[in-house]
Amino acid sequence: SYITGDERRTMLVSPLFVGADLYGLLVNELEITNSYSVSSIATQLSVTLRSLFMIEEQNKVRQSLQISLERFIRDNTKLEEIAQKDELTGLYNRRGFISNAERVLEEPSNQGKVAIICYADLDNLKTINDKFGHDDGDYALKTISQVLQESFRDTDIIGRIGGDEFLSLAITGSDCDVDSMKARLEK
């Protein structure tokens, strides 16, 4: 179907291959005097095809690696969040509090501002656990957590740093009103 006419033709067929990989055939209608160059052209085409396929494979591998890297970063971020959170209260644990406090304190925009640390300790947690059970002890810890979250801003850092010990870090301007912070906590 590719050859028109009824006249006799002489074709030169050369395989396009590298190693054991066959890519196709090079079919030429040439005069015998020009046939010497077909072999080198077939070799060059074969090597070029092999290079194109290798580049395509390399791009697929690169895409796969990129997807794996993105998944790894996403999973690592989730693990980092889990490692910094207290499971019971949802606040930062000691590691999360220290890490985030250091980050906030080192921010250039916070230089020259006032940093306020609030330490809270739940009195008699052992007594609550012994007398009423650990569920009620957990409820008390969650309640303290909620009070601290309602008393401080979303930008402040709040953490449960020990069994019944909590810390909060608030960065404020020089016009800090500590009395209003105390009032919010007491309320």
Instruction: Decide if pLDDT at 178 tops 80.
Output: no
> How large is the average pLDDT for residues 162-167?
94
Pairing label, strands 165-172, 157-160: antiparallel
> How large is the average pLDDT for residues 44-72?
95
> How large is the average pLDDT for residues 94-103?
95
Instruction: Decide if pLDDT at 7 tops 80.
Output: no
- Give 85's Cβ-side CA count (13 Å radius): 10
Q: pLDDT by residue (tens digit) across 69-86?
A: 999 999 999 999 899 999
Instruction: Decide if pLDDT at 187 tops 90.
Output: no
DSSP string covering the chain, please? ----SSS---EEEEEEEETTEEEEEEEEE--GGGGGGHHHHHHHHHHHHHHHHHHHHHHHHHHHHHHHHHHHHHHHHHHHHHHHB-TTT-SB-HHHHHHHHHHHHH-GGGTTSEEEEEEEE-TTHHHHHHHH-HHHHHHHHHHHHHHHHHHS-TTSEEEE-SSSEEEEEEEE-TT--HHHHHHHHH-
Q: pLDDT by residue (tens digit) across 134-154?
A: 999 999 999 999 999 998 989
